Amino acid sequence: MKKTNLVTVKIFEKTGVFGEDKDLAKQLRTEFLWPAIKDGRKITLDFSHVEDVTQSFIHALLSELIRETEGDVLDNISFKNCNETVKKIINMVVSYMLE
């Protein structure tokens, strides 16, 4: 069976309103994100209903992907339904990983 080219991860279903569990973020990265990226699939991280995230959570979720792909992974990940706080923290992590 052909795999669908788009993977959507609903963060709220994993974290609830506050994304702060770094171990969970690591698990999401290693079990969902990395395999999907290696398969050449596009990923949507859907943050609807997530009120807040910590910098540590987003760092654990994304930093290794950004570092290993020298930022190319960002062409394959979309961030959906992020509020201003979540957007700010994602941008912060992306920014310092690319500098």
Please give the residue ranges that form the binding site for another protein (CB under 8 A): 15-16, 18, 20-23, 26, 29, 51-52, 54-56, 59-60, 63-64, 67, 84-85, 88-89, 91-93, 95-97, 99
User: Cα-flanking dihedrals φ and ψ of residue 20, to 5°?
Assistant: -135, -10
Q: Which is nearer to another protein, 6 or 31 (CB)?
A: 31
Smallest gap from residue 39 Cβ to another protein (A): 20
**Burial, 77: exposed, middle or buried (Cβ in 10 Å; 0-12, 13-18, 19+)?**
buried
Element (H, E) at 45: strand 42-46
Smallest gap from residue 25 Cβ to another protein (A): 9
d(CA 91, CA 24): 20
Q: Which is nearer to another protein, 56 or 76 (CB)?
A: 56
